[in-house]
Amino acid sequence: MQFVQSPPLAIALTAQEMDTLRLLNVCSKYYPARTLISRQGEIESRIFVIQSGWASVHRDLASGDRQIIDTPLIGDIIGVRASEGPNNNSLSSISAVSLFEIPRQLLGRTLFTQGRPASLFARVVARQHSILIEHLTNAGRRNALVRTAHYLLELRERLAVFGMVEDNGFNCPLTQQELADVLGLTTIHVNRTLRELRERELLSFRRGFVEFIDRQSLVKLCCFDADYLDL
Amino acid sequence: MQFVQSPPLAIALTAQEMDTLRLLNVCSKYYPARTLISRQGEIESRIFVIQSGWASVHRDLASGDRQIIDTPLIGDIIGVRASEGPNNNSLSSISAVSLFEIPRQLLGRTLFTQGRPASLFARVVARQHSILIEHLTNAGRRNALVRTAHYLLELRERLAVFGMVEDNGFNCPLTQQELADVLGLTTIHVNRTLRELRERELLSFRRGFVEFIDRQSLVKLCCFDADYLDL
DNA sequence: CGCAGACTTGAAGATTATCAACCACCGTGG
DNA sequence: CCACGGTGGTTGATAATCTTCAAGTCTGCG
């Protein structure tokens, strides 16, 4: 990985911009897999940037159900909200995760007022907005098969930017339960859906590896257009 | 309406801040009901602020389906995205709408670098993010009845800020088709769901008016918590 | 080896969609 | 003034999708 000194933002920073970021008192932290990092309903004064690993931003409902809003990956920024009130969603690690924790106040003061880093953050946030829109479209208007395919293709694109896609697939630590919570389905139905994708020889997801068997057909199946992921 | 000179942002601006906004070359425009204002896939250099009326931000799919991402109302800001590429969703009017159109570039240059108006915009954007998260949670993890109730309660809160809620309800120009596209349901199922809400004596939505019959029970039914709408 | 968590399968049931009518309201034009 | 057409709303019957419940099986790991 070529990003060690500064938060990985999928865009190279100039030396001066990195200085700006260093001013932010950025500290790096490590969390083991399946750990709650920030709890819904509590005041959260940090902003996070994923350095490595898979995380999950989710909402837990009184019913016991859970909706995963997004699975932020390397370079993604979490928690850029302006209001001071309690956070309305939780952040957990899925795999082991290391991330930068930036005091929110510092971000507001220095980062958003200094040219390119500011617009860079704005871009990443805008992309997350696009991702969120796509997830809503998934949940609202696509069936289980298409929805699953779409999300896994999205992950591929997001990981590819960081060279984390091998020849025909990528490592994916999500359980079927987590995938279900992303897609708004039950675990069991995700299982059947993955089986159908396998039987149709489109993709296989086994033992933590998503393998694209016929990616072209898959893209066609769900009308996947990666434009929304562009920074 | 007390907001005529400056974009209505649900927060009062100081005179100086209004000057900043006036610098932005803000022009006000009117669109009749059911008009396409900005088309998905095209480059959009404007940012919109709703002055009055109901609009709809939506994604149109190749299948012919449509997902309404949000129905922005008075004071809402639309199109704050940093990337220069084509927009990935459309903006249409639902009722007749008048809105401010702000050149994107001006916004980036002056607004985001000037103290409170900047953080004010950031807040509104953060709130829209919260709303989007709630809509995703709706589509992913709540059934038709709860989902519908939740959305209509959300609209009530959003309109109440601007004094647009009468005693026990509010005017709502949404058709059942549009409501279906917000909620990720079919028109027919929305119709049945509204009937059930009526039969259970929770709320009635007829002739463009949403009337809350038993709002307390409704809030309880869908565990509605308006915190996410706070600015 | 044995345990726990994750995955898999079947059967049955609930929810939501699809198809096909029909109704009601409203503005228009004869 | 009333027939007409169009849009939006309503209803029933049927089908697809997805969930629930219940019972395994597999797999990695101590």
pLDDT, tens only, A160-177: 999 999 889 999 999 999
Confidence of residue B108 (pLDDT cuts 50, 70, 90): low
- Largest Cα span, chain B: 53
Rounded CA–C1' distance between A179 and C4, in angstroms: 20
Distance, CA of A199 to chain centre: 28
Which positions ≥6 away from A36 have C-beta within 8 Å?
A90, A91, A92
**Is the minimum CB–CB distance between A136 and chain B shorter than 8 Å?**
yes
Q: When comparing pLDDT for B193 and B162, which is higher?
A: B193
> Could you tell me which of B97, B200, B96 has the C-alpha nearest to residue B148?
B200
**Across A105-119, B5-19, B143-157, B162-176, least confident range:** A105-119
Q: Does B226 touch chain A (CB under 8 A)?
A: no
pLDDT value for A86: 75
Q: How far apart are CA A40 and CA A132, in angstroms?
A: 18
What pLDDT band is residue B47 in, cutting at 50, 70 and 90? confident
User: If you average pLDDT over residues B171-192, what whole number do you get?
Assistant: 98
Minimum Cα–Cα distance from A66: chain B residue: B141
pLDDT digits (tens, 9 = 90+) for B61-103: 999 999 999 999 998 989 866 556 678 899 999 999 999 888 8
pLDDT for the residue numbered A59: 96
Reply yes or no on whether the pLDDT at B12 is more than 70.
no
pLDDT at A2: 39
Q: Do residue A59 and residue B86 have CB atoms under 8 angstroms apart?
A: no
Rg value, chain A, Cα? 18
| A116 CA to C15 C1' distance (Å) | 49
Overall average pLDDT of the B149-168 stretch: 94
User: Measured between alpha carbons, how far is residue B116 from residues A109, B8, B20, B113 in Å?
Assistant: 11, 15, 10, 9
Region B105-126 average pLDDT: 67
Contact between chains at B59 and A137 (C-beta distance less than 8 A):
yes
CA angle A9, A14, A18 (to 5 degrees): 65
Using the structure, give the distance in angstroms from the CA atom of B38 to the C1' atom of C16, rounded to a whole number.
32
**Region B216-220: what's the mean pLDDT?**
97
Which token pair is A150?
Answer: 């779409």
Comparing B70 with B43, which gets the higher pLDDT? B70
Taking only the tens place, the pLDDT of each residue in A124-150 is 888 889 999 999 999 999 999 999 999
Whole-number pLDDT of residue A4: 44
CB contact under 8 A, B118 and A125: no
Closest-CA distance, B178 to chain A, in angstroms, reads 13
Contacts of B79 (CB under 8 A, 6+ apart): B38, B44, B46, B47, B48, B87, B91, B104
Residues in chain B within 8 Å Cβ distance of A140: 67, 139, 183-184
| Residue B1 pLDDT class (50, 70, 90 cuts) | very low
Residues B136, B141, B146: CA angle, nearest 5 degrees:
95
Where does the pLDDT of residue A26 fall: very low under 50, low under 70, confident under 90, or very high at 90 and above?
confident
Which band of pLDDT confidence, cut at 50, 70 and 90, is reported for residue A3?
A: very low
Q: How far apart are CA A49 and CA A101, in angstroms?
A: 7
SS3 category, A50: strand
**B42, B48 Cβ separation under 8 angstroms:** no
Put simply, whether A221 touches B (Cβ < 8 Å) is no
What Rg, from alpha-carbon coordinates, does chain B have?
A: 18
User: How many other C-beta atoms can be found within 10 angstroms of the C-beta atom of residue A220?
Assistant: 12
**What is chain B's mean pLDDT, rounded?**
87
Name the residue among B67, B88, B230 with its Cβ closest to that of A140.
B67
CB-based contacts of B109, cutoff 8 Å, min separation 6: none
Chain A CB contacts of B228 below 8 Å: 88
Nearest C-alpha of chain A: how many angstroms from B81? 5
pLDDT for res A114: 59
Residue of B nearest to A115 (CA): B113
Which pLDDT belongs to residue A30?
93
More confident residue, A127 or B216: B216
The first and second tokens of residue B27, run together, are: 């022009």
Q: Does A69 touch chain B (CB under 8 A)?
A: yes
Contacts of B191 (CB under 8 A, 6+ apart): B176
Cα separation, A107 vs A67, in Å, equals: 28
Query: How many other β-carbons are positioned within 10 Å of the β-carbon of residue A48?
Result: 24
Tell me what the pLDDT averaged over chain A comes to. 87
- Closest by CA position to B113, among listed A107, A111, A113: A113
Which of B121, B106, B105 lies closest to B49, judged by CA?
B121
pLDDT tens, position by position, A109-120: 655 555 566 677
Tell me the mean pLDDT in the region B11-21.
71
Residue A170: C-alpha distances to residues A167, A187, B18, B84 (Å): 8, 21, 51, 30
Cα three-residue angle A225-A58-A140, rounded to 5 degrees: 45
**pTM, rounded to two decimals:** 0.92
* In contact, B99 and B49? CB cutoff 8 Å: yes
3-state secondary structure of A116: helix
Helices (H), B103-167: 104-110, 115-141, 144-160
Expressed in angstroms, the distance from the first to the final Cα of chain A is 20
**What pLDDT does residue A110 have?**
59
B9 pLDDT higher than 70: no
B139 token code pair: 């589509």
In tens, the pLDDT along A33-86 reads 999 999 998 988 888 989 899 999 999 999 999 999 999 999 888 986 655 667
Name the residues contacting strand C (CB < 7 Å). Answer: A 175-177, 187-188, 191-192, 194-195, 206; B 143-145, 184-186, 188-189, 207
Q: Confidence band (pLDDT; 50, 70, 90) for B215?
A: very high
Q: What are phi and psi of B214, to 5 degrees?
A: -140, 80
A19 band by pLDDT with thresholds 50, 70 and 90: confident
pLDDT for residue B43 is more than 50: yes
Q: Could you tell me where the beta strands, DSSP code E, fall in A53-164?
A: 55-60, 66-70, 77-78, 90-93, 97-103
What is the Cα–Cα distance from B197 to B210, expressed in whole angstroms? 11
Give me the pLDDT at residue B170, please.
Answer: 96
Query: Above 60 in pLDDT, residue A1?
Result: no
Q: Which of B9, B78, B83 to mutate to test the interface with A (most CBs of A within 10 A)?
A: B83
pLDDT for residue A80: 66
- A223 interaction partners in chain B (CB closer than 8 Å): 61-63
Structure tokens at B85: 């590429």
A109 Cβ contact list (under 8 Å, min separation 6) = none
